[in-house]
């Protein structure tokens, strides 16, 4: 079998490993004494995220209400076809309309 060779660890990696090792040797399992501060910061950030999420929910409800008042696709197509039919009829019956209104 082949032998496992030890490769040198880059200095930056070794430094990070030393930092991690030092932080786990602190008071009581790796919290390095500042666990309460970290939790407090996370709680503050979570409150901010919660506030922003409420704003997004309100904005979504507002948009949903506004979209509910928009005309549907069927209405738009029907209105377009009706308008097209009126314009076509005016063009086709132009002479008869002019005679009816005594404009000829």
Q: pLDDT per residue over 50-95, tens digit each?
A: 999 999 999 999 999 999 999 999 999 999 999 999 999 999 999 9
Give how far Cα 10 sits from Cα of 5, 14, 23, Å: 15, 6, 20
Q: pLDDT per residue over 32-55, tens digit each?
A: 668 888 889 999 999 999 999 999
pLDDT class for 24, splitting at 50, 70, 90? low
Please tell me whether residue 41 adopts helix, strand or coil conformation: helix
Model pLDDT, residue 38: 87
Model pLDDT, residue 27: 53
The model scores a pTM over 0.85: no
Q: What is the DSSP letter of 37?
A: H
Model pLDDT, residue 30: 54
- The whole-angstrom separation of Cα 13 and Cα 7 is 13
- The whole-angstrom separation of Cα 59 and Cα 54 is 9
């Amino acid at each position: 079998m082949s032998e496992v060779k030890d490769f040198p660890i880059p200095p930056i990696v070794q430094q990070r490993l030393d930092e991690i090792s030092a932080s786990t040797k602190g008071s009581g399992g790796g919290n390095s004494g500042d666990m309460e501060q970290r939790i407090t910061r996370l709680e503050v950030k979570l409150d901010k995220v919660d506030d922003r999420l409420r704003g997004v929910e309100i904005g979504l409800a507002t948009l949903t209400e506004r979209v509910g008042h928009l005309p549907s696709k069927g209405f738009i197509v029907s209105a377009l076809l009706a308008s097209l039919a009126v314009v076509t009829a005016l063009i086709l019956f132009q002479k008869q309309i002019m005679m009816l209104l005594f404009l000829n």
